[in-house]
Amino acid sequence: MHPAFSVILFTVISGAGYGLFLLLVAFHLAGIGPVMSHGELIAHGVAALGMITVGLMLSTGHLANKKNAWRSFMRFKTSWLSREAVFAVLFYPFAAIYGLGVLVQGHEVGPLAAVAGAIAAVLAVVTLFSTGMIYGCLKTIRQWNTALTPANYILLGVATGAVAFAAIASVFGNATAMHAGVAIVLLLIAGVLKGIYYFWISRVTGPTINTATTFNRATVRLLDTGHTAGTFLTDEFGYDAGKNTTDTLKMGVFLLAFGTPILVFAAILSGVPAVVAWLGLVAALVGVIMERWLFFAEARHVVRLYHGDQHT
Amino acid sequence: MRLGLVIDMDTCVGCHACAVACKQWNTSGTTGPLTDYRPYGEDPSGVWFNRIRHYEVGDYPNNKTVNIPMSCMHCEHADCVNVCPTGASYKRPEDGIVLVDQDKCMGCNYCAWACPYGARELDREDGVMKKCTLCVDRIYDEQLPPEERQPACVITCPAHARFFGDFDDDASEVSRLIRERGGVKQMPELGYKPVNTYLPPRITRSIPTDDVRANTLITSVKDWVNKMVAR
């Protein structure tokens, strides 16, 4: 698949935003970790909502006909893209009630704001799940059509959110071992899952050029695609990054998205000043952008079989 | 009613006349124009509802060239319709034709991702998705004589390799052909249940190759001279 940068940035940035929001609500309402000051609560909330909003605006960047974007709420019953749009918008009123409660009442929010915050946190995860299912439900792309896809979207969103949460807390001198520990555990789970995913997609399954052309008992080779220049299909699905590039980037993903932030938080646990969490955040975001680019670049649509690929 | 095409891979000669007739009819049809990009440039491209690809099946000497024209299969389980977030893509309950409402499409490409057969192409100029309409603006047109109420690709095919009809009607020509010739579907394992069906090449005697002349010194020199002269 052709990697569209608007979609890559949208999923990475708003994913981290939803993760940050989830962590904020969990730490605040469930009372995990230290009591947060009024200023710190607001900083977390503004950062989360800002990232989510910027991401959602970027997501319209790949639409060829933006004036009809509002219609994407219309097919909630069948389309995961529609569900993502609905859940993403539904998140806002609940997040706003919670945010207003924090703004007015500080750390000791009333029951209405608390319930709204909890609902918004659930909607954040549901939105991440819907984003993953947009890709996971496509039978045409075996690299996406697996339960690991939505699991990856949720875990990478929450893990990068946890890194951002610790980084922002460090500004207020409030980053504790709890912050670092939660981030390390989430990064480890997300990293292991990503490793399983890369192992999974390296095993070839699914349709071949034989089932695509109906000739199941003979070798089939493409003679001619019937067009001299590129088409919409070759532009959209013909992308090939090459094994060297993808292998190098995979090492980069494990190094930057998981390895560096885990080391940073291990250092914080052993006494290094907590502001280095920002270094972990930059590494994690760059690493996850590489991960998301690979997610698209390695996806091989079955229409490629008609253009000469023996398998996807 | 379940309308669709039967395409005979035995008689298709791969001339692309169906694609040209399709382009000619549909560019001024309900979902036209079928925009061309750089039509007189070095790398002309554009929107087509029908594409023909050419394959070699089998190994020499038991090999054969097979031409496979492909357009929308008007699938019974059309995932392109299910994934569409706007409701622009729809499948008509009365005849099973899959269409795109050009006024509702937001050009997100999601339906093209969901289609395994490459039937949908984005028109970059109009910003909307376009696809085969099974010539819906032709097959129901009572101004046309009955024999012309067929898709443009079917009427134009010089090899008579394309057939249009109702797959729900056991007595129709398409149903009969599928029965008699053992019609096959592309990628049935994905479960889209495509309506369009392909007729496999007939089994014919293999062409003897034992009379092909063996290489001698004289023929080798002749071949070499011919190669040099041609260049």
Closest CA to B109 of A137, A141, A64: A64
Burial (0-12, 13-18, 19+ Cβ within 10 Å), A106: middle
More confident site: A5 or A23 = A23
Q: Which residues of B touch A215 (CB under 8 A)?
A: 55, 57, 66, 200
Model pLDDT, residue B204: 82
For chain A, give the mean pLDDT: 95
Q: Does the structure show a pLDDT above 90 at A124? A: yes
A99-109 average pLDDT score: 91
pLDDT exceeding 90 applies to what percent of chain A?
91
For the question of an ipTM over 0.85, the answer is yes
Model pLDDT, residue A232: 96
Q: Using CA atoms, how far apart are residues A265 and A312, in angstroms rounded to an integer? A: 39
Q: At A31, give phi and psi (nearest 5°).
A: 70, 25
For chain B, give the mean pLDDT: 94
Domains of chain A: 5-307 (1.20.1630.10)
Residues 168..207 of B with a Cβ closer than 8 Å to A: which? Answer: 184-192, 198, 200
Among B85, B107, B115, select the one facing A74 at the smallest CB separation: B85
Question: Residue A221: which pLDDT band, with cuts at 50, 70 and 90?
Answer: very high
Q: Does the structure show a pLDDT above 80 at B63? A: yes
Model pLDDT, residue A62: 84
pLDDT digits 0-9 by tens, B140-164: 999 999 999 999 999 999 999 999 9
Q: Does the structure show a pLDDT above 90 at B211? A: no
Q: Which residues of B touch A78 (CB under 8 A)?
A: 81-83
Question: Residue B78: which pLDDT band, with cuts at 50, 70 and 90?
Answer: very high
Question: Residue B20: which pLDDT band, with cuts at 50, 70 and 90?
Answer: very high
Q: Using CA atoms, how far apart are residues A297 and A301, in angstroms rounded to an integer? A: 11
User: Inter-chain contact A222–B53, Cβ cutoff 8 Å?
Assistant: yes
What's the residue count for chain B? 231
Domains of chain B: 3-205 (3.30.70.20)
B179-193 average pLDDT score: 97
Q: Which residues of B touch A80 (CB under 8 A)?
A: 83
Q: Does the structure show a pLDDT above 70 at A266? A: yes
pLDDT digits 0-9 by tens, A32-62: 888 999 999 999 999 999 999 999 999 888 8
pLDDT digits 0-9 by tens, B163-172: 999 999 999 9
Give helix then strand counts, H and E, for chain A: 11, 1
A172-176 average pLDDT score: 91
Q: Using CA atoms, how far apart are residues A283 and A277, in angstroms rounded to an integer? A: 10
A183-192 average pLDDT score: 98
B178-201 average pLDDT score: 97
Q: Does the structure show a pLDDT above 80 at B209? A: no
Q: Which residues of B touch A72 (CB under 8 A)?
A: 85-86, 106, 108
User: Inter-chain contact A229–B191, Cβ cutoff 8 Å?
Assistant: no
Reduced to 3 states (helix: H, G, I; strand: E, B; else coil), residue B197 is: strand
A41: distance to nearest CA of chain B, Å? Answer: 36
User: pTM (2 decimals)?
Assistant: 0.92
Question: Residue B215: which pLDDT band, with cuts at 50, 70 and 90?
Answer: confident
CA distances A166 to A40, A162, A182, Å, are 11, 6, 9
More confident site: B215 or A18 = A18
B101-121 average pLDDT score: 96
Tokens of B86: 């706007």
Model pLDDT, residue B231: 60
